[in-house]
Structure 1
Amino acid sequence: MTATLDPIAAPLSFNAESEAPHRGSKLLKPIEMISAALLVVVILLLLAGVISRYVFSLPIVWVDEAASISFLWLAMLGSAIAFDRNEHLRLTLFLNKMPPRLQRFVDAFAPLCAVAFLLALVMPSLEYAMDEWYITTPTLNIPNAFRAAAIPFGIILMLGIVLRYTFKVADRRQIILAALVIAAITLALWYFSPSLVRAGNVKLALFLVVFVAVGLAAGVPIAFCFGLGTLSYLAFGTNVPTIVMVGRMDEGMSGIILLSVPIFVLLGCVLDATGMGKAIVDFLASLLGHVKAGMSYVLLGSLFIVSGISGSKVSDMATVAPALFPEMKRRGHSPREMIALLATGAAMADTVPPSIVLIVLGAAAGVSIAGLFTSGIVIAAVLLAALVGLARWKSRHEDMHGVRRATMGVIGRAMVIAAPALVLPFIIRSTVAGGVATATEVSTIAVLYAMFIGIILYGGISWKTFYGMLVETASLTGAILLILGTALAMAWAITQAGVAQNIASFMTGLPGGWITFMALTIVVFLVLGCILEGLPAIVLMAPLMFPIAKNLGINDIHYSMVVVTAMNIGLMTPPIGIGFYLACRIGDVSPDEAIGAIWPYLIALMVGLVVIAYVPWLSTAFL
């Protein structure tokens, strides 16, 4: 599984010659080993907690605390690894369209923006960690500085990595010019700081809109766009000490529910490595492959089921496409239609548990994970029905020559092979939705089950492969959590400035009440889904939008389903939606060729979204 979060995730390359992803330097091998060990420690701690609670009825009270300490270190070291491996998420749409001369400048400017942010945080993060020395953890009775020290350590490590690669790859003259531009901007902000402090909320447009937008356009990683905008606002537009930024980042990266994120990412890696996903695809193909539009049904059904195991759209598409595309081509499906179905099918399946997006949304907005998992299945089924109907109509002229119904023996063998894999998504969904265990506990059990089944029945996993999956998971986890931390800090700054209250007053006063607000929500998250990808958009906007929805009487679960669905449609909408380009890359089809075919499928999803938005019963009936 590639460790790119449905990316925007073009690699953080610093010039045109370094577009290929860097797979990690030898200097960081010890950090990779420590990160892999930390991930194993987190899994073992959580497993020990599950066994002690459910088998022996003797909860180990310090497990969550120890896991939380390990988790923050994993996140910060993973962020450094993500820099070293060029896997931080960023937007490259505008960068790739710049003239070569400007692009060379921006290639130096983008990493130096990250350097400026990290340099500015070194002292506040050290001060924050030292302050935490006087706070004792509740159960382990150790200074909280042992946990908080991960933040300055990770920041200094990232700073060294970015500086090393900047001077190694970028043009020296462009580095000097970019450094002078950043220094001039900093001096200007410092000079006008007294005026900016008195400027009211107008300054938010400069720091949190203009700065962030310029950073995104220049290809600065998303986490650093949010962080640099927020830190500049605090440093030059307020009297708030910058140490507050570190505290908000710590809060955003330390939610106990987020412990399930790296474990579900690892589960997706296991799914790919063992071939469990392919077994499910083969079973559905034997069952449905003989009917018209059968392979389209198999593709959509596979995404629906496999998503319940991996929790990642990247893993879903990478598992399903290679197994089905050759036969679909033979039956007359054009590559552009297959890409359109793959992209929109992945968007449909993102509410199927154990969706990482739902887990993060639950943590950011304080919404029940069990409720989100229960409702997510129904919502995905509504979208699935819309796509199935369109796929059937488009396949009315499909060439079925030579297609034969699979014999019962073939179906039976495929079912026996797929059965252990098919059990896993039902375990995950039923256990969390039924309140039997938390998403974090279930993720631990699911990984161990998948590894055991994979080793016994699906060909096994070598130690080298397993170690690579651990490092890959640490890298992706670090990239995700750094975004969450900086986005939460930015959302906090917006709220403290009183903008949230102004937005709430404006939206509450709109004619049409909740109906108008829901329409506005759809537009906002369609746009944000195109530009920012799911997790940053959710963490940034959830603290602002959910209180308004609640005041208008909209159920939290219902609103969550609308937000996630709109965001996923935006993610797959060209010409900006980065998920669309990822699907093209996986299917080896030119975006220019596929762009015309995807619109009918997007319209089908939009119809489904409107139904979901204005029929709350669909989201709440089974809670």
Structure 2
Amino acid sequence: MNAHTATLPASPPIPTTGIGRLANRLDHVVGTGVEAIAAALVLIEICILAAGVTARYVFHAPLVWSDELASILFLWLSMLGAVVALRRGEHMRMTGLVSRVSPATRSLLEALAITAAIAFLLLILPHAFEYAEEETFIVTPALEITNAWRAAAIPVGMGLMLLAASFRLLRFGSLKPVLLAIGITAALVLLFWLAGPTLKPLGKLNLVVFFVGVVALNVFSGVPIAFSFALATFGYLACTTTTPLIVMVGRLDEGMSHLILLAVPLFIFLGALIEMTGMARAMIQFLASMLGHVRGGLSYVLVGAMYLVSGISGSKIADMAAIAPVLFPEMKKRGAKPGDLVALLSATGAQTESIPPSIVLITIGSVTGVSIAALFTGGMVPALVLGIALCFVVWWRNRDEDLGHVVRHSWGQIGKLCLIALPAIALPFVIRAAVVEGVATATEVSTIGIAYSVLAGLLLYRQFDWRRLPRMLADTASLTGAIIFIVGCATAMAWGLTQSGFSQDLARAMAAVPGGTWGFLAISIVAFIILGSVLEGIPAIVLFGPLLFPIAKQIGVHEVHYAMVVVFAMGIGLFAPPFGVGYYGACAISKVNPDEGLKYIGGYMLALFLGLIVVAAVPWFSTGFLKF
């Protein structure tokens, strides 16, 4: 098993059998072609969004079609990127159990990871084609073309993923575990299908069976996270409801099609570009000169950097993608454990959920009527409180760090390094200013960062390796596909939960909790940590915000204060393993196996939880600056 967050075992040696050699050749031809197209799509997206910014701000002639075309191509990029990730073995999964069993059992679980993905793709593919066919009747408003051009990305991508998974299976090292895995997978699918009439009368107990039992079984068996969510959702809808399964494809599409998510590949590419142009090195040298002599100094820098740049892109994953490549290499050189790094990165994702311009806060304002300006004002101090809690853990863990090899820089040296790093340090401020001044949307702003980095690399740092660009674009596509496919599957699972009436039941139960204000806040924290782990921030807010915010106001909880409590609780759930999707996103960005972060993340999550209790207990942190 390599050090990455792999879905599948490392690529086997070239097979000696005829069918194995054929599968290997086909995999190379198809995979190389898909990878090239996906890399090209990343470059095209950058050009389209950059053209949109230039046309609107420089020529005052907005391109009305740019966002629409970018959205169409983004779905293709996400699906083809998911194919590349599956072929490379870069989808997220938990391997805690897989790594601790005997070699024979491990081989079986690795084969099951492939056959489980194949099972879902075979089950959903007919409905994906049906969905694309239905979309032919819809015409896009700007380009005036059939929406099937966009929707076709889903069946095409799933078909190519099916091919990639099948090639992996044909190239598997041993035939016995493959046949056994196929048999087990087929038997489980048949068992659930036959159990349908028995499951339907169970009602809401099926939520536990599928969204707890099936998900947990798949996740801990090493099945990729996205396919674990997808299999549970498909099974729930197929076995216990009469819902047409084309609806699941629609929810998958909806989850992957938020235009704000387009910032993810662009910020991933921006992070790689910062490293390649030498900006990262200049920034790290300056930051290390400032805090290098402090125990855990660069960990403090990570917390502060996430606070500064968080919310700029509208996507927490994109924020991480802009920061991790800059800080992690130097932190590893200084002896930091990869697991500790990814745990802290995930924790800062939860800590900075309320930093404006936060898409979660915008969503809260839009669905509850709370002033977005008030939410933006109220979000700064609570995030600082949680940041201080994280810094305490950093101090505790690094209190015995050996700094004997670290040289303390003079003020003259610090000033010189600051001057060199100034163009790199200015980048986050340039990006934020572009958003605040209306030059670019949260989605487009990353293109300004990319243009800035290219010019800085070519003209200031004189370091730009053109030969690395194709690989950087392909890596960006792969990572984008792995992340966005999880988001899509999680969105489909969220819809499956809500159509059962679960949200209304939860709201009624929370309103009936004794203890008044404190009881309501306590149960809200627990509920939203759980919801954040399975629904993510925006779906949970859309579902429960209109129901719970009026209750909070009725019992005397300030709406902005309640919003901060809810946002941080959801953030803890979203970035805490084993179910938090954000944690796996942080692992993907960091290229660290999720298992490595498990023994470190508990301390950070405890600090966040204690910080959340402080924020909940002291409303002033959220409302104290609203009157200014």
TM over 0.5: yes
Evaluate the alpha carbon distance shift between residue 548 and residue 281 of structure 1 in structure 2; reply closer, same or farther with a 3 A threshold. Answer: farther
Equivalent of 1:144 in 142, 147, 150 = 147
Report the counterpart of residue 8 of structure 2 in structure 1: 13
Report the counterpart of residue 319 of structure 1 in structure 2: 326
Report the counterpart of residue 50 of structure 2 in structure 1: 47
Evaluate the alpha carbon distance shift between residue 224 and residue 537 of structure 1 in structure 2; reply closer, same or farther with a 3 A threshold. Answer: same
The answer to whether structure 1 residue 502 and structure 2 residue 501 are counterparts is: no
The answer to whether structure 1 residue 347 and structure 2 residue 347 are counterparts is: yes
Report the counterpart of residue 81 of structure 1 in structure 2: 84
What is the identity, as a one-letter code, of the residue corresponding to 1:12?
Answer: T
Equivalent of 2:494 in 471, 479, 491 = 491
Contact 1:262 1:474 in 2 (8 A): yes
Residues 401-452 of structure 1: CA deviation (Å, up to 9, x unaligned)? 7987634432222111111111111223344356554211212211221222
TM-score (norm. length: structure 1): 0.82
Residues 480-523 of structure 1: CA deviation (Å, up to 9, x unaligned)? 11111111111111111111111121122212355445434544
Q: Counterparts of 1:249-398 in structure 2 under 5 Å?
A: 249-289=252-292, 297=300, 300-301=303-304, 311-313=318-320, 316-317=323-324, 319-324=326-331, 343-344=343-344, 347-348=347-348, 378-388=381-391
Evaluate the alpha carbon distance shift between residue 563 and residue 186 of structure 1 in structure 2; reply closer, same or farther with a 3 A threshold. Answer: same
Report the counterpart of residue 569 of structure 2 in structure 1: 563
What is the identity, as a one-letter code, of the residue corresponding to 1:11?
Answer: A
Is the partner of 1:140 in helix, strand or coil?
A: coil
Q: Distance in 1 between matches of 2:353 and 2:605?
A: 22
What is the identity, as a one-letter code, of the residue corresponding to 2:5?
Answer: A
Q: Distance in 2 between matches of 1:584 and 1:82?
A: 15
Q: Distance in 1 between matches of 2:183 and 2:614?
A: 53
What is the identity, as a one-letter code, of the residue corresponding to 1:319?
Answer: V
Q: Distance in 2 between matches of 1:271 and 1:354?
A: 26
Equivalent of 2:427 in 424, 433, 437 = 424
Report the counterpart of residue 72 of structure 2 in structure 1: 69
TM-score (norm. length: structure 2): 0.81
Q: Distance in 1 between matches of 2:578 and 2:225?
A: 18
Contact 1:351 1:373 in 2 (8 A): no
Q: Distance in 2 between matches of 1:118 and 1:165?
A: 15
Q: Distance in 2 between matches of 1:315 and 1:489?
A: 28
How many residues were matched structurally? 597
What is the identity, as a one-letter code, of the residue corresponding to 1:108?
Answer: A
Is the partner of 1:93 in helix, strand or coil?
A: coil
Q: Which runs of 5+ in 2 are unaligned?
A: 14-23, 554-558
What is the identity, as a one-letter code, of the residue corresponding to 2:54?
Answer: I
What is the identity, as a one-letter code, of the residue corresponding to 1:570?
Answer: A
Give the C-alpha shift of residue 73 in structure 1. 0.6
Q: Distance in 2 between matches of 1:352 and 1:130?
A: 41
Contact 2:565 2:615 in 1 (8 A): no
Percent identity of equivalent pairs: 40
Report the counterpart of residue 475 of structure 2 in structure 1: 472
Give the C-alpha shift of residue 154 in structure 1. 0.2
Give the C-alpha shift of residue 102 in structure 1. 2.9
Q: Distance in 2 between matches of 1:376 and 1:208?
A: 32
Give the C-alpha shift of residue 525 in structure 1. 6.4
Residues 446-471 of structure 1: CA deviation (Å, up to 9, x unaligned)? 12212221232234332231111111
What is the identity, as a one-letter code, of the residue corresponding to 1:173?
Answer: K
Give the C-alpha shift of residue 536 in structure 1. 6.7
What is the identity, as a one-letter code, of the residue corresponding to 2:564?
Answer: H
Report the counterpart of residue 415 of structure 1 in structure 2: 418
Give the C-alpha shift of residue 257 in structure 1. 1.6
Contact 2:536 2:570 in 1 (8 A): no
Give the C-alpha shift of residue 157 in structure 1. 0.2
Contact 2:98 2:221 in 1 (8 A): yes
The answer to whether structure 1 residue 27 and structure 2 residue 30 are counterparts is: yes
Let me know the Cα RMSD of the aligned residues: 4.3
Q: Counterparts of 1:417-566 in structure 2 under 5 Å?
A: 417-433=420-436, 437-513=440-516, 515-523=518-526, 537-538=536-537, 541-551=540-550, 552-553=552-553, 554-555=559-560, 557-559=563-565, 561-563=567-569, 565-566=571-572
Give the C-alpha shift of residue 528 in structure 1. 8.1
Contact 2:353 2:568 in 1 (8 A): no
Evaluate the alpha carbon distance shift between residue 443 and residue 373 of structure 1 in structure 2; reply closer, same or farther with a 3 A threshold. Answer: farther
What is the identity, as a one-letter code, of the residue corresponding to 1:550?
Answer: F
